[in-house]
Amino acid sequence: MTPAISMRDVEMVFSGERSGEPYAALRNVQLEVTPGEFFCLLGPSGCGKTSLLNLVAGFVMPTSGTVAINGEAVDRPAKERGVVFQSDRALFDWLTVEENVTFGPRMRGVPEQAWRPVVDEMLKLVGLWDHREKLPRQLSGGMKQRVQIARVLANEPDILLMDEPFAALDAYTRSHLQREVTRIWMAHRRTVLFVTHDITEAIWLADRIGIMTRGPGSRIREIIPVDLPRPRERMTAGFIELFNRLSVAIDAEAGNQRLAEQAA
């Protein structure tokens, strides 16, 4: 089976405009995500998770190595890869919920009779049908993120890329949206690449979890399967055991970084 997402020997080096020295954000990244899989990238802030996601999105190109979607090299952004950002600033403040969600199909010139059923389905799927005439400023943070999700899904992407979309939300809203995203994913089974630094969130959502090393030169340290039945409960023995295993792996990376700093 051709991977939905494939990264081979990927390196990402930034020019280092301030210091004058190049900075290697990613080095020797190897990754395969299967079609329909929910894959989480887990690691602390600054470890290169967003850089990796931006490469898959086509927002930037690798310094070396290859990034491919369904066997085709990525060379630009495309509607087949929808991105849900961390900030709700991605929404257009002057457009209603419905206008935000329909923006993509309308800009691509898709006839309304083609996109209308899809948009209506997405608004109902994320629970915003009754709020479709509201502006973003009239919505809570959690509702704004649901607008982002609906807007991306309205373009019917093959792959959904999510960059810490719930990081700024309160614990209750975050937990609710994690359940909603799981429900939406199970309904449509699109491939998802989800970036997070929250171990509990990764276990709740993922089929597999890729642990990123600390930078510079971050890579995927190891990939751990989540062999827990859905729907998941957070306080089961299996959940806690996996949480502890992931914590040890991430703490080991932090310890390696401290040793390197001490040696320097």
Q: Bridge partners of 81?
A: 159
Whether the model clears a pTM of 0.85, i.e. scores above it, the answer is yes
- Give the per-residue pLDDT at 27: 94
- Give the per-residue pLDDT at 59: 95
Taking the C-alpha atoms of residue 52 and residue 25, their distance in angstroms, rounded to an integer, is: 9
What percent of the chain is modeled with pLDDT above 90?
59
In tens, the pLDDT along 18-60 reads 666 788 899 999 999 999 999 999 987 778 899 999 999 999 9
- Give the per-residue pLDDT at 259: 41
In tens, the pLDDT along 149-191 reads 999 988 889 999 999 888 878 888 888 888 888 988 998 889 9
- All residues at 6 or more sequence positions from 96 whose CB lies less than 8 Å from its CB, including other chains: 132, 133, 134, 135
- Give the per-residue pLDDT at 214: 86
Residue 219 DSSP one-character state: -
End-to-end, the C-alpha distance of the chain in Å comes to 45
pLDDT mean over 94-108: 93
DSSP labels, 63-117? SEEEEEETTEE--S--TTEEEE-SSGGGS-TTS-HHHHHHHHHHHTT--HHHHHH
Taking the C-alpha atoms of residue 24 and residue 185, their distance in angstroms, rounded to an integer, is: 34
Domains in the chain, please, with CATH?
36-62+75-211+220-263 (3.40.50.300)
Taking the C-alpha atoms of residue 48 and residue 41, their distance in angstroms, rounded to an integer, is: 10
